[in-house]
Amino acid sequence: MTRRKTLSCALAAFAIPARAASTMQEAFQIIQKQIEHGMLHQAVLHVQHGSEATQKAFGSAKPDSMFLLGSITKPLTAAAVMVLVDRGEVKLSDLAVKYLPEFNEGARKDITLEQLLTHTSGLPDQLENNNALRSRHAPLEDFIKGAIRTPLLFAPGTQYHYQSMGILLAAEIVQRVTKTPLPTFLQQQVFTPLGMTQTVLGLGAFSKDDMVPMQTEHAAPEAGGGDPNAHDWDWNSDYWRNLAAPWGGAHSTAADITRFLRSFMRPKGKPFNEAIARRMIIDHTPKLEAHRGIGFMIGPSGLGKGCSDHAFGHSGSTGTLAWADPESDTSLVLLTSLPKNVSGDSILYPVSDCVSLSL
């Protein structure tokens, strides 16, 4: 099918105004150009404005293709924590040591659950021996033990530093409180209530063949990029796809992530009450260099140049970007197979800026 025909079919699938159609055509062309150049293999774009939506699959992808989300997993994990907050079983102000008694050395005992979720605990993003752990197919328990022992980078609450290990420990708290594996808890308490039928942490009932393969040759070193010996632990390996890393191991479709994002703009009591939903998407770090909600990025920086200060969302190093903006009632989800090292400047942000600046 030619590009002209694919664009026509995509636009005809949804009733959208002429201005929106023009914007979407421009966004489609940005992605299609990379497909035609052979740089990008697969992608799905889903944009919704109010009740009007358009979705387009590129390359060999289908509209319901499931992608490795990367760090878009983080707000999913945060939602699991907030289910417990809604139930009154934990508080964001609780000290992490209350649930992780071994996490008590030095300033660790002062770290709150909120700081784990807002990247202000002082923990690092990845452990120093991250690649060694992955190369020997270490279970998550080994990452948890490492995160509990690793030196802090700064006093809790004083700075912002992106930290996957903080999300990991928040996930461990969910498992200890509920006595339920996080993938199961998310499925039962978040994904199913929201109708996210093709979202899973790890692989669950799906197989690796159900997932879009990553273009791992472009991945960052900590994900095995450029390492010929990393094939059994990189993003495409059985090990990583099954690990269910709460900071980056979820799989989903563009439509499912749209459902998740829009549930915060129009809360219906699922998976938690409206007050909890609103609490996740407000700025919890107004005096620090980055604006973070609970698991979410807040504001236009890193999302889209035309997004408002109330926009919320996340990106993923696997080549993904998702946001929603309550001021314009718009959401964008772009999932690709090309790591953000390359797709960020060439696809993700150009498409996001194109859509957000047209609002």
What is the pLDDT at residue 320?
A: 98
Residues in the chain: 359
Residues 6+ apart with CB under 8 A from 34: 40, 338, 343, 346, 347
What is the pLDDT at residue 4?
A: 35
What is the pLDDT at residue 228?
A: 82
Handedness of CA 153, 114, 290, 165 (dihedral sign): positive
Q: Is the peptide bond preceding residue 300 cis, with omega within 30 degrees of 0?
A: no
Q: How far apart are CA 284 and CA 236, in angstroms?
A: 35
**pTM (whole model) above 0.85:** yes
What is the pLDDT at residue 19?
A: 61
What is the pLDDT at residue 18?
A: 58
Q: How far apart are CA 274 and CA 297, in angstroms?
A: 19
Residues of the chain with pLDDT under 50: 1-16
What is the pLDDT at residue 305?
A: 97
| DSSP alpha helix (H) spans, the chain | 3-12, 18-36, 73-87, 113-117, 130-135, 140-149, 164-178, 182-186, 238-243, 254-265, 274-280, 340-343, 349-356
Q: Where along the chain do its domains lie?
A: 67-356
What is the pLDDT at residue 227?
A: 84
What is the pLDDT at residue 16?
A: 46
pLDDT digits (tens, 9 = 90+) for 9-22: 343 333 345 567 78
Can you name the CATH fold of 67-356? Beta-lactamase (3.40.710)
What is the pLDDT at residue 220?
A: 83
